[in-house]
Amino acid sequence: MKPNSTAILLLAATLLSGCAGTPKPQPAAATPPAPAPAVVANDFPTLTRVEYVLNCMQEKGGKNYDNLYHCVCAVDHIAAKLPHEEFLQAETFVTNVNLPGERGGVFRDPPQSKALRDKLQAAQQEAVAACFPNGGKVSAPKTK
């Protein structure tokens, strides 16, 4: 009986030492918080960007890749400075400020009209300085 009891004691000791060495299960690590959604700096929709670029290209002498590049750069700069909603309001004020009479007064007189028109003009001036090598001036076509 002795060999059996020794074997049992040895087996019990092995099992107990194995259990003692087994790490206790840790609670599941807290999952890291989901990353915050990216803040959209340039929230201009495609249609607004395309309209701006086409008008800009027209003002700068026509549709060519040089004007395209500079006008896309300009709308990106403006979009970084103004939220889309402010841009739309400012464009509306700028477009209609010269209407005569009471109709024009609706666009000239509100206090936000001048503030938004000035903000848009400042953003456009910064964009021209940053994006157009000749300050946005239309150069005369080259003649041979």
Domain ranges of the chain: 46-131
Residue 35, pLDDT score? 60
Q: Consecutive 10-residue runs of the chain (144 residues): their mean pLDDT?
A: 47 46 57 56 86 95 93 96 94 89 84 92 95 73 54
Residue 32, pLDDT score? 61
Question: For the whole model, what pTM was predicted?
Answer: 0.64
CA 83, 84, 86, 90: dihedral to nearest 10 degrees? 130
